[in-house]
Structure 1
Amino acid sequence: NGYELREYNRVKVARAIEDLGFEENLIAKGLKSNRSMAIAVLLPEFRGLFSFDILKNLEMVLEEKDYTMMISDYESDSVRLAQRLDHFRRRSIDGLIIFPLANGDSCLDSLKEYRDAGIPVISMSDRIRGFSCDYIHGGNRLVSFQAVDHILSRGHRKICIVTGRRETGVTEERMEGCREAFLKHGLSADDMHIIWTDYTMKNAVSKIGESLASDPPTALYCTSYYITMGAVLAVNGSKYQLGTDVSLIGHDYFAGTEIVSPALTTVEHDLESLGREAGLLMMDRIENGIPDESLEIEIPMKLNIRESVRALI
């Protein structure tokens, strides 16, 4: 219980614990500390491999402090998001980790109630506009610059940037990195061909398929996992060959990255660090309080070069 014991007494207590099979009562521990010993995690959808790999590493940190995760999916719906936020606040959770909507300002009133109650909030991957809280993300601008720079350096000029949701901070950062790469090579932002999608695989297949049928690019830079999968399906379903006629850089490592022929060059998050940093920061906020200024943590991403970008020069 946090008190020091003389060595003789410590040995006796340890022996008694072993003999009786004593287990710590975490509910009683929470009552004593006035904590629920639970962290809520809100996801836009359950199907994302990206978020689950983060959660696996987050849980490892929380378990060391006897905390559990309460995970919920708000189905990318602002009404359901507000409902889940209110539900968890009434459950007296000790902290909230949220993967926010593009229009996160729709839940600002609910989030402000968390702040008023002294409940720490961490936003993952994207900022919540209009609400100040800790924010952990990958280095989207830099790695997008590196990806497009790699494509341009290999002689490509007819490049399609396939992305989604113009209004998100993540999209803005990625597009800024793309623009910087074009400028480096003496091109203007007007030279960028952009395909806007809703981030689903089905929509990506349709939009990229239309581009391949009308005015095919020599290279695609896809800014999400599902867009990448849609691009592979679209190219393989066309008269063009992936890696020969149409080069591709995708987002996020997955089991088929090296099985697809040719092996895909991808932009990859450090999911282990994202999850670990979220857990460590949450524990710090719970134990030491919420400071006046929010913290931004950037976990660098990497460009893993494989075989899917053909050299034209």
Structure 2
Amino acid sequence: MATIREVAKEAGVSLGTVSRYLNGHQLKETNMKNIQAAIEKLGYEENIIAKGLKNNKSLSIGVVINTLTDVFATSIVTYLESYLEENNYSLILCDYQNDLSKLEKKLEFLRSRSVDGVVIFHLEEKLAVLDKFRQEGTPIIAVDAPITNFQTATVLVDNYQASYNVVERLAELGHKKIGIIAGSQDRFIGRERLNGYVDAMKKLGLYEPSIIKIGDYKKESGYLNAKQLLAEEKITALYSTNYYMTLGAVQAIYERQLIIPEDVSVIGFDHFELSDILQPKLTVVEQPVQQIGETIGALLIQKIKHPEQVENSVMELQTSLLWRDSIKNLKKGLVN
């Protein structure tokens, strides 16, 4: 097996120059080309494990999500893993099934593996193990919710503004009875999305508590809450603040043999495959999953390499409203 010294000799550069190249530093273009050509010619393969031991790093990142069936979280993890691979880091993925005691055990497991960074989805309550990571200098990134009484870098989307924008746009099209299926209020995203809806409805003089339903982010709760709204209230539009609840809501609409958008307009949250398969295609709030994943990765690498330079700030990324065929313009007919 070729050595780094042989690569340096073949490329006509110093050993230090090859080392800097392998560690991702920008060099003169001619040197970079020569080193890469030497690596390919000699079949040199960097020993990542040995490199990690030498630098007292595992070159791995621990990621903890609520469930492995969460299409939103796993989509972000896909882009995060690609970003980490480009920077010679691997990923260890765990789930905790909405069980804080299990989450604490999973985080202790990651500590035992000496991960160089930790990404935690949907955690709002501070756990004792987080202080251990901090004392050991392991960076932590919170995703989708800030952690109470624990300052760390946090990546969110504009949940409040997304809901506010939905209501404003529907109202512009003549909708007044805009029902909502919000997520449970013990979670940050549930509160933020509902608050944006409520404030917009109050500002427009459309607020009615009876057209607000609270679900648990699962398909069944979207189905049951939509059935209630459709049976009890004469809503013209339904806004569901979670992908799975949206699927349940659409099922309830179909079972009542109602037509979207002629009988009821529908806006969902998150743009995944079924949103495109359903007919008509659903208008949805689209979260920037690729940008979220890459932002998490960039923050981690910066905090690992330059911990003193990265503040524990909150980064709020913008959603977009993907406007399609599931909305009726009550003033003009159908909006395409």
Shorter-chain TM-score above 0.5 = yes
1:108/1:131 contact within 8 Å kept = no
Q: Give the secondary-structure state (helix, strand or coil) at the position aligned to 2:212.
A: strand
Report what 2:55 is aligned to. 33
CA distance in 2: counterparts of 1:221 and 1:109, whole angstroms: 38
Aligned residue in 2 for 1:207 = 225
Displacement of 1:142: 1.4
Q: Is residue 2:111 matched to residue 1:89?
A: yes
Conservation of the 8 A alpha-carbon contact between 1:199 and 1:227: yes
- Structure 1 counterpart of 2:43: 21
Distance apart, 1:216 and its partner CA: 4.1
- The percent identity for this pair of structures is 33
1:136 to 155, 158, 171: 155
What is the identity, as a one-letter code, of the residue corresponding to 1:138? V
Match of 1:267 in 2: 285
Supply the AA of the counterpart residue of 1:123. A
Q: Which residue of 2 aligns with 1:111?
A: 130
Using structure 1 for the length normalisation, give the TM-score: 0.90
Matched, 1:195 2:199: no
SS of the residue corresponding to residue 123 of structure 1 reads strand
Contact between 1:159 and 1:192, CA under 8 Å: does it hold in 2? no
Q: Is the CA contact (8 Å cut-off) linking 2:80 and 2:294 kept in structure 1?
A: yes
Alignment of 1:227-242 (within 5 A): 227-242=245-260
Aligned-residue offset at 1:237: 1.0
Mapping for residues 1-313 of structure 1, pairs under 5 Å:
8-9=12-13, 17-18=39-40, 20-101=42-123, 104-105=124-125, 108-187=127-206, 189-190=207-208, 193-289=211-307, 293-313=311-331
Displacement of 1:171 in angstroms is: 2.0
Residues 202 and 230, structure 1, Cα contact 8 Å, conserved in 2? yes
SS in 2 for 1:258: helix
| C-alpha distance in 2 between matches for 1:96 and 1:242 | 43
Report how far residue 55 of structure 1 moved.
1.4
Distance, in Å, in 1 between the alignment partners of 2:159 and 2:210 is: 18
- Paired with 1:170 and 1:182, the residues of 2 have a C-alpha distance of 18
Task: Give the superposition deviation at 1:250.
Answer: 0.3
Contact 2:302 2:310 in 1 (8 A): no
- Which amino acid in the other structure matches residue 162 of structure 1? I
SS where residue 156 of structure 1 aligns?
coil
1:161–1:192 Cα contact (<8 Å) kept: no
Conserved 8 A contact 2:303-2:310: no
Task: Say if 1:120 and 1:290, in contact at 8 Å, map to a contact too.
Answer: no
1:53 positional shift: 1.8
Gaps of 5+ in 2: 15-30, 332-336
Which ranges in structure 1 are unaligned for 5 or more consecutive residues? none
Counterparts in 2 of 1:17 and 1:250: CA distance versus 1, 3 Å: closer
Larger CA Rg, structure 1 vs 2:
2
Preserved contact between residue 177 and residue 235 of structure 2 (Cα < 8 Å): yes
The letter for the 2-side match of 1:161 is I
Distance 1:304 1:297 in 2: 22
Q: What CA distance in whole angstroms lies between the structure 2 residues aligned with 1:27 and 1:292?
A: 27
Contact 1:108 1:130 (8 Å CA) reproduced = no
Q: CA offsets, 1:272-308, max 9 Å, x none?
A: 1101110000000000115684111111100011111
TM-score in terms of structure 2 length: 0.84
Larger relative contact order (CA 8 Å, sep ≥ 6): 1
Tell me if structure 2 keeps the 8 A contact 1:125–1:170.
yes
> Structure 1's 31 and 180: CA in aligned 2 closer, same or farther, altered over 3 A?
same
What is the alpha-carbon distance in structure 2 between the residues aligned to residue 207 and residue 116 of structure 1? 45
Shift of 1:16: 7.1
Whether the 8 Å contact between 2:225 and 2:249 is mirrored in structure 1 is: no
Cα shift readout 1:74-113 (whole Å, capped 9, x = no counterpart): 1111111111011101111000001024xx32x5211121
Please tell me whether the aligned partners of residues 183 and 189 of structure 2 are also in contact (alpha carbons under 8 angstroms). no
8 A contact 1:58–1:278 mirrored in 2: yes
Q: Residues of 1 paired with 2:204 and 2:73: CA distance?
A: 35
Q: Secondary structure of the equivalent of 1:241?
A: coil
